Structure 1
Amino acid sequence: MKRRTLKNEITHDGVGLHKGEIINLKLIPTKSGGIIFKRVDLEAGKNEILLNPNNTFDLTRGTNLKNEYGAAVYTIEHFMSALYVKGITDLIVELNGNELPICDGSTIKFIELIEEAGILELEEEVSEVVVREPIYLSKGDKHVIALPYDGYKLTYTIKFDHTFLKSQLAEFEITEENYKKEIAPARTFCFDYEIEYLKKNNLALGGSLENAIVIKKDGVLNPEGLRFEDEFVRHKMLDIIGDLKILNRPIKAHIIAVKAGHLIDVEFAQLLAKIN
C-alpha cells in the first residue's frame, strides 16, 4: 500500500473525555515521519510524541503515548481506528491538551474530518504485517489470536457478569465500507456503577450521554437507545483496530479477540511487530 497523508489541514474543537477540557485539534499533512502527536501547550523540542508501540503506557482505560521527556497524549484509540481504515500513515496531530476529543464516543467525526480534508497518496510504500502462522497471546481469560488470512477479518467476543450486558459476538471483514457502516458508529460505554469511581479519580470528567453509552441494570440510560443491538462488541472492535494501528502498517490476518482490552491489544501489536 502507498503511504498516505491528508491533502489539506483541518481543525476540530471538542471536549476531552477524562479532563473535560476543550481540546483544539489540528491535523497537518506531512510527507514522512509517521504519525506524530504535537502538544502545542508544552515546550517546543520536547512536545512531539511518535506513534510507536514502545511509547505506550498506562493501558488500563485507554491507549496512551508518551515521549522521553514525559509529554503524553491519552485516549488515542478511536482516532487511530479512523486513521487505520482511511490508510493514513503520515500526519502531524497538533493538540493543546493531553487527550483527543471524544466527539460522540464513536469514530464518525474523525472519518468525516479525514474525508473533508482529502487524502493524498504518497510515492513511498508501506509494507503489510502478514501473519503466516498462528500467533496467540493470553492473559487470564483475555485472548488475542492471529491466523493467516488473505485480507483483514476481525472476530470479537465479549462477556460480562451483568444483568443487561452479558455476551456478544461479531465478525466483519475490515474494509472501509464495512467499517463505516458497521463499526464506526459504535460508541464507547461504561456501567452506571463505575461513574462515581471515575469522577473521584478525576476521570471521565467530560463524559456524558452525548459521548458514551451508560449501562444500567436493565438497559441503557441514553434516551435514544442503541445504534446496534450489539453496539458494545462493535465498539470493542473499533478499539482493537485503533490499538493495532500503533504499528502504522496494514494488517493481513484474521484476528480473533476474546474479552480483550487495550493492554493485551498493545502487547499483541508488539508480538506482530517482531514477526515482520
Structure 2
Amino acid sequence: MKRKTLREEIFYKGIGLHKGEDIKLRLIPAENGGIVFKRVDLEEGKNEILMDIENSFDLTRGTNLRNEFGASVYTIEHFLSALYIMNITDLIVELDGNELPILDGSAKIFVELLESVGTKNLKEDVEEIVIESPINLTVGDKHIVGLPFDGYKITYTIKFDHSFLKSQMLEVVVDLESYKNEIAKARTFGFDYEIEYLKNNNLALGGTLENAIVVKKDGVLNPDGLRYEDEFVRHKILDLIGDLKVLNRPIRGHIIAIKAGHALDIEFAKLLKK
C-alpha cells in the first residue's frame, strides 16, 4: 500500500471530553514524517508530538502521547481509528488544547470529515504488519491473541459484573464498508456511578449524553437509547483499531481480544512492532 495523506486541509472545532473546552483542530496534508500532533498553544520547537508507540503514556482512560518536553495530547483513539480505516499515514494535526474533540463519542464524524476532502497517494510504500504465527498477551483476566489471517479480522469479548451490561461478543472483518456500517457509529460509554468521581477529579467535564452512553442499573440514561444492541463491544473494537494505529502500518491477521483495554492494546502493539 502507498502512504497516504489528505488532499486538502480540514478545520473543525469541538468540545474536549475531559477539560470540556473548545478545541480548534486543523488537519494539514503532509508528504512524509508520519502523524505529528502540533500543540499551537505551546512554545514553538517543543510542541510537536510524533505518533510513536514509545511516546504513549497514562493509558487508564484513553490513549495519550507526549514528547520529551512534556507536551501531550490525550484521547486520540477515536481519531486514530478513523485514520486507520482511511489508510492515512502522514498528517500534521494542529490543535490548541491537549485533547481531541470528542464529537459524538464515536469515529463517525471523523470518517465523514476525512472522506469530505479525500486522500492522495504518496510516493513511498508502507509495509504491512503480517502476523505469521500465533502471539498472545495475558494480564490477569485480560487477553489479546494474534493469529494468521488473510485480511484484518477482530473478535472481541467484553464482560462486566453489572446488572444491565454483562457479556457481549462480536467478530468483524475490518474494511471500509464494514467499519462504516458496523463500528464507526459506536459511542464511548461509562457507568452512572463513575460520574461523581470523574467530575471530582476534573475528568469528563465535557461529557454529556450527546457524546457518551451512560449505563445505569437497568439500561442507559440516553433518551434515544442505543445505536446497536451491542454498541458497547463495537466501541471496544473501534478503540482497539485506533490503539494499534500508533504503529502507523496496516495489519494483516486475526486479533482476538477478551476484556482488553487501552493499556493492554498498547502492550500488544509493542509485540506486533517486534
Name the TM-score, length of structure 1 as normaliser: 0.99
Shift of 1:84: 0.2
Which residue matches 1:262?
Answer: 262
Shift of 1:265: 0.2
How many residues are treated as equivalent by the alignment? 274
Are 2:200 and 1:200 aligned? yes
Counterpart AA for 1:143: H
Work out the CA distance in 1 between the residues paired with 2:201 and 2:142.
26
Q: Counterparts in 2 of 1:155-174, with a 5 A limit?
A: 155-174=155-174
Question: 1:116 Cα shift?
Answer: 1.1
Query: Cα deviation per residue 1:142-196 (whole Å; 9 max; x = unaligned)?
Result: 1000001110000000000000000000000001000000000000000000000
Moved over 3 A (4+): none
1:177-196 to structure 2, matched below 5 A, reads 177-196=177-196
CA distance in 2, matches of 1:230, 1:221: 16
Q: 3-state SS of the aligned residue for 1:206?
A: coil
Q: 1:212-253 CA distances to partner (integer Å, 9 max, x unpaired)?
A: 000000000000000000000000000000000000000001
CA–CA distance in 1 between the matches of 2:226 and 2:211? Answer: 12
Work out the CA distance in 2 between the residues paired with 1:157 and 1:214: 20
Write the distance in 2 (CA, Å) between the matches of 1:227 and 1:221. 13
After superposition, residues 16-27 of structure 1 pair within 5 angstroms as: 16-27=16-27
Quote the Cα distance in structure 2 between the aligned partners of 1:212 and 1:241.
19
Give the equivalent residue in structure 1 for 2:136: 136
- Tell me the distance in 1 between the aligned counterparts of 2:186 and 2:12: 20
Deviation at 1:40, TM superposition (A): 0.1
Give the whole-Å Cα distance in 1 for the aligned partners of 2:141 and 2:24. 39
| Gaps in structure 2 of 5+ consecutive residues | none
Q: CA deviation at 1:123?
A: 1.3
CA RMSD in angstroms, aligned pairs only? 0.4
Q: Which residue of 1 aligns with 2:47?
A: 47
Identity of matched residues, %: 70
Q: TM-score, normalised by structure 2?
A: 1.00
2:151 aligned partner = 151
Mapped partners of 2:97, 2:119: distance in 1: 26
Q: Matched residues in 1 for 2:218 and 2:38: separation?
A: 43
Is there any run of 5+ residues in structure 1 with no aligned partner, and where?
A: none
Q: Which residue is equivalent to 1:210?
A: 210
Instruction: Give the 3-state SS of the residue equivalent to 1:178 in structure 2.
Output: helix
